[in-house]
Amino acid sequence: GQQVMQIPQYQHVQEGEDFTTYCNSSTTLSNIQWYKQRPGGHPVFLIQLVKSGEVKKQKRLTFQFGEAKKNSSLHITATQTTDVGTYFCAGRGNNAGNMLTFGGGTRLMVKP
């Protein structure tokens, strides 16, 4: 079945440094979504990417979808303590009825 891998598993950064998490799928995706989960919270939707090579920005966050629609990345510029949490990618396959498959997440810790 479809597998989604994320690296790194953990990342410690100093406040103000940049952060990137990478997501790779074993199969071609129809779309990919990104979620953020704060400690003790539930996943909250950030964005959806659909097109090959798509790049979207939300303030300091930049999301990319690979040309082959099998990988994606999230880059945060100048991290802040409010960025702390676990970032998950979740891919949806091309077959009808394919559900979201979540990656293992990257836990971001920011030192003030």
Binding site for another protein (CB under 8 A): 1, 4, 6, 33, 41-45, 48, 88, 90, 97-105, 107
Please provide residue 82's backbone torsions phi and psi, each rounded to the nearest 5 degrees.
-75, -10
Which is nearer to another protein, 37 or 62 (by Cβ)? 37
Report how far residue 61's alpha carbon sits from residue 25's, in angstroms, rounded to the nearest whole number.
21
What are the CA-CA distances from residue 57 to residues 4, 43, 49, 61 (Å)? 22, 20, 11, 6
Which is nearer to another protein, 90 or 110 (by Cβ)? 90
Which is nearer to another protein, 8 or 45 (by Cβ)? 45
CB of 34 to another protein, least distance (A): 10
